[in-house]
C-alpha cells in the first residue's frame, strides 16, 4: 500500500475553542478535507511519530465511526508506531485520558462535542490531548491552528476499514492497530481510588436508592460495568444507558434543565436518595440528593473538605484549583485546611501544569466538572463514586452533608445565566465596551454597595509563566460578592454570553434561602452594568443554572 500525499486547501476557521474544535456535523462532512486537514495539523505537531502510540476514541455521536476510520488511515500514513482505539470507537474523555497515561502514548484524539447535541444536524468535535493525558495547552493549540491555516497536503493510505467491533490487533504497514475494551482499564482505576466494598454494602443495604442518568451518551457502558457489575446496584439504576448517535434526540448536558427527567425524579415524593448524570463524553457530572441539587462549586468544596476519608486521597491534598468563574466556596475550605488554592481561567487545560507539577490534587469548575490528579481531565463517574463513597463513610444524606458543610464554612450562593445564540458581533461589542470602561464601572453608583475591583482576568501560569489574558470581566464587591461576564468558547452557533453571580453568606440563620431571590439584586446590577437588554436585545437568559 502506498502512502499518498493528497493536496488540500486550508480553512481559516479551525481555531480550537475552550476544548478542541467544535462545529456542526455538516461543516465536517460537507467541506472537503475539513477533518483531514485538522488531523494532519495535529500530527504535524508530533515529531517522533514512528516511535509513538496514539489513542483514538469518541463519545459515539453521529459521524464518530466514519471519522475514526479516516483518522486511523491518516495516522498509518503518518507512520505512527501504534494506534490504540476504543472498541466500537468508544472512549469517554476521562477513559481516554487514563489510557494515554497508562500506555505512555504521545497523545490522543477524542471525538466529541461534549455536552452539545448530536445527530446529523448536531455538533461534532475533535479534541487533542497531549502525553500527560490532558487537553493540549494553548501553546500547542496555537501551533495546530497555525498549521491548519497553512496546510496544503495531508498524508493518507487507502487501506480497508479496521473492524472496531472486536477487540484485538491488526498490522497495517508499520503501524500496529490495537482495538481495546473501552471500559476495563478505567473501571480498574476507579477501583484503586475508592472503597468499593463500602460502596457495595451501601448499595445493597436495602435502605439506599440511586439513579444514574447516562443521557444516552458515552457513560452508559461505564456506569453498567462499575455501578451494576462491580458494585452490585440493580440494573435499573442506570437509565438512558444505551449510547445513541443522536443521544436519543436529547441534549446531553447534565444540569437541571437538560436532565429534567432526573431532576423531577429527585424532587418527587419518595424519590431516590442519590441521583447523578453525566454528559456526552463523560467528563461532566451533576450530583443530586432527594430534594437537593448540589451546585458544582459546592460539590468541589465538599469533595475537598472530605477528601481524606476517601482511600485514594487519605494522605491529604497538595492543593486545589478552581476556574475563575467557579464560586469561592472551595477557597474557604483551602483557607481553613491550610492548603494552596489556585484560580485559573476557564478550561481544564489550565489545570494541567498545576497537576503535573504536584501543586494540586483536586480541581473543578462551575460548568459541572470535578476531577483529581488521577487523570488530566474532569471525570463524571469519578465524582459520582466520590459522593457514593462519602455517603457510605459519613452515613448521612446528601442534604445533610451539604447543610453541615454550609454550617461550617458558610454558603456561596451561586448562579449562572446563559444568553445563548446571540449575535456574535453584538456579544463581542458588549465585552469590549466593558473592557474599555472598567474604571467607570468600578466607580458607578450601586445604591450603597461598593465595588472593590473591576478587571479583565489575566492569568500567569505559576509553572511555565505563560500568560493568558482577556479571560472574563470580573466585578468584585467589598462584601465578597462577584459578577463575572465571559463569552463561551464551546458553542457552534453565534455567541453565548455567560453571567456568573455569587454572594457569600455566613449567618447560620440565612443559609437555606432561595438562590435566585438571594442573588436578585446582583442580577439587576449585572443587567444594568452590561446593558444586556440594550446590547443583546434579550430581556432574560435562556438557561439559568
- List the one residue out of 487, 515, 493 whose CA is nearest residue 503: 515
Annotated active-site residue 114? The verdict is yes
Residues 300 and 317: beta-carbon distance below 8 Å? no
Nearer to ligand G16, 53 or 490 (CB): 490
Q: Which three cell numbers, joined as nine digits, stand for 392?
A: 457510605
CB of 498 to ligand G16, least distance (A): 6
Phi, psi of 497 (to 5 degrees): -90, 130
Cell 430534594 belongs to residue: 291
Q: How far apart are CA 264 and CA 381, in angstroms?
A: 21
What strands lie across the sheet with 21-24, from one edge to the other? 21-24, 123-130, 107-111, 53-58, 82-90, 175-180, 168-172
Nearer to ligand G16, 334 or 363 (CB): 363
Q: How far apart are CA 387 and CA 115, in angstroms?
A: 22
Nearer to ligand G16, 89 or 282 (CB): 282
* Residue 39 zone, left/alpha/beta (φ > 0; ψ -120 to 50; rest): alpha
CB of 251 to ligand G16, least distance (A): 12
Q: How far apart are CA 264 and CA 516, in angstroms?
A: 19
CB of 363 to ligand G16, least distance (A): 10
H or E element, residue 55: strand 53-58
Interface with ligand G16 (CB under 6 A): 18-19, 114-115, 279, 283-284, 323, 346-348, 365, 367, 369, 488-490, 498
CB of 486 to ligand G16, least distance (A): 7
CB of 349 to ligand G16, least distance (A): 7
CB of 115 to ligand G16, least distance (A): 6
- List the one residue out of 407, 398, 416, 399 whose CA is nearest residue 511: 407
CB of 284 to ligand G16, least distance (A): 5
Out of 114, 297, 323, 327, pick the active-site residue.
114
Q: How far apart are CA 416 and CA 543, in angstroms?
A: 8
Q: How far apart are CA 245 and CA 504, in angstroms?
A: 42
DSSP assignment of 316-384, as one string?
--S-EEEETTS-THHHHHHHHHT--EEEE-SSGGGGHHHHHTTS-SEEEETTTEEEETTSSS--HHHHH
DSSP label at residue 273: S
* 543 Cβ neighbours under 8 A, 6+ residues apart: 255, 257, 417, 418, 420
* 380 Cβ neighbours under 8 A, 6+ residues apart: 92, 94, 219, 254, 276, 278, 279, 282, 283, 284, 285
Coil, helix or strand at residue 236: helix
H or E element, residue 27: helix 25-30
Residues 28 and 67: beta-carbon distance below 8 Å? yes
Nearer to ligand G16, 88 or 346 (CB): 346
Q: How far apart are CA 383 and CA 294, in angstroms?
A: 12
H or E element, residue 521: helix 520-530
Secondary structure E strands in 227-278: 238-239, 274-278
Secondary structure E strands in 209-256: 210-213, 238-239
Positions annotated as catalytic residues are 114
Amino acid at each position: 500500500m502506498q502512502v499518498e500525499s493528497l493536496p488540500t486547501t486550508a480553512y481559516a476557521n479551525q481555531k480550537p475553542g475552550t476544548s478542541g474544535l467544535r462545529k456542526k456535523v455538516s461543516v465536517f462532512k460537507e467541506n472537503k478535507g475539513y477533518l483531514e486537514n485538522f488531523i494532519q495539523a495535529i500530527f504535524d505537531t508530533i515529531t517522533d511519530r514512528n516511535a509513538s502510540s496514539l489513542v483514538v476514541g469518541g463519545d459515539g455521536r453521529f459521524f464518530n465511526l466514519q471519522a475514526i476510520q479516516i483518522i486511523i488511515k491518516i495516522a498509518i500514513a503518518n507512520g505512527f508506531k501504534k494506534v490504540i482505539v476504543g472498541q466500537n470507537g468508544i472512549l469517554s474523555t476521562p477513559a481516554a485520558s487514563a489510557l494515554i497515561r497508562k500506555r505512555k502514548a504521545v497523545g490522543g484524539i477524542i471525538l466529541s462535542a461534549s455536552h452539545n447535541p448530536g445527530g446529523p444536524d448536531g455538533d461534532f468535535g475533535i479534541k487533542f490531548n497531549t502525553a500527560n493525558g490532558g487537553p493540549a495547552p494553548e501553546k500547542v493549540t496555537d501551533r495546530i491552528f497555525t498549521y491548519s491555516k497553512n496546510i496544503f497536503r495531508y498524508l493518507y493510505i487507502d487501506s480497508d476499514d479496521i473492524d472496531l467491533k472486536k477487540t484485538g490487533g491488526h498490522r497495517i504497514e508499520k503501524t500496529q492497530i490495537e482495538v481495546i475494551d473501552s471500559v476495563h482499564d478505567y473501571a480498574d482505576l476507579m477501583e484503586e481510588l475508592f472503597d468499593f466494598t463500602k460502596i457495595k454494602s451501601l448499595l445493597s443495604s436495602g435502605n439506599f436508592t440511586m439513579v444514574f442518568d447516562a443521557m444516552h451518551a458515552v457513560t452508559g457502558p461505564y456506569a453498567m460495568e462499575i455501578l451494576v457489575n462491580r458494585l452490585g446496584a440493580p440494573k435499573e439504576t442506570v437509565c438512558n444507558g444505551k449510547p445513541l448517535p443522536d443521544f436519543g434526540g436529547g441534549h446531553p448536558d447534565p444540569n437541571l434543565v437538560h436532565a429534567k427527567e432526573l431532576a423531577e425524579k429527585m424532587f418527587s415524593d419518595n424519590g431516590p436518595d442519590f441521583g447523578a448524570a453525566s454528559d456526552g463524553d463523560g467528563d461532566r457530572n451533576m450530583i443530586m440528593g432527594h430534594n437537593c441539587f448540589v451546585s458544582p462549586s459546592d460539590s468541589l468544596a465538599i469533595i475537598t473538605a472530605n477528601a481524606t476519608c476517601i482511600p485514594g486521597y487519605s494522605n491529604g491534598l497538595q492543593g486545589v484549583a478552581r476556574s475563575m468563574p467557579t464560586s469561592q466556596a472551595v477557597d474557604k475550605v483551602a483557607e481553613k485546611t491550610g492548603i494552596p488554592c489556585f484560580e485559573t481561567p476557564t478550561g481544564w487545560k489550565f489545570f494541567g501544569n498545576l497537576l503535573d507539577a504536584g501543586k494540586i490534587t483536586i480541581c473543578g469548575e462551575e460548568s459541572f466538572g470535578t476531577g483529581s490528579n488521577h487523570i488530566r481531565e474532569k471525570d463524571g463517574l469519578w465524582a459520582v463514586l466520590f459522593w457514593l463513597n462519602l455517603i457510605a463513610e459519613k452515613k448521612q444524606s446528601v442534604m445533610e452533608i451539604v447543610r453541615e458543610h454550609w454550617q461550617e464554612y458558610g454558603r456561596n450562593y451561586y448562579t449562572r445565566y446563559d444568553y445563548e445564540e446571540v449575535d456574535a458581533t453584538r456579544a463581542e461589542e458588549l465585552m469590549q465596551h466593558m473592557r474599555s470602561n472598567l474604571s467607570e464601572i468600578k466607580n458607578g453608583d450601586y445604591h450603597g454597595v461598593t465595588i472593590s475591583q473591576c478587571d479583565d482576568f489575566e492569568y500567569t501560569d505559576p509553572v511555565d509563566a505563560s500568560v493568558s489574558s482577556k479571560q472574563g470581566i470580573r466585578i468584585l464587591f467589598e462584601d465578597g460578592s462577584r459578577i463575572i461576564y465571559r463569552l463561551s468558547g464551546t458553542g457552534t452557533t453565534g455567541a453565548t454570553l455567560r453571567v456568573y453571580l455569587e454572594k457569600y453568606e455566613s449567618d447560620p440563620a440565612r443559609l437555606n434561602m432561595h438562590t435566585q431571590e438571594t442573588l436578585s439584586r446582583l442580577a439587576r446590577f449585572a443587567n444594568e452594568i452590561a446593558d444586556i437588554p440594550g446590547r443583546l436585545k434579550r430581556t432574560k437568559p435562556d438557561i439559568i443554572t
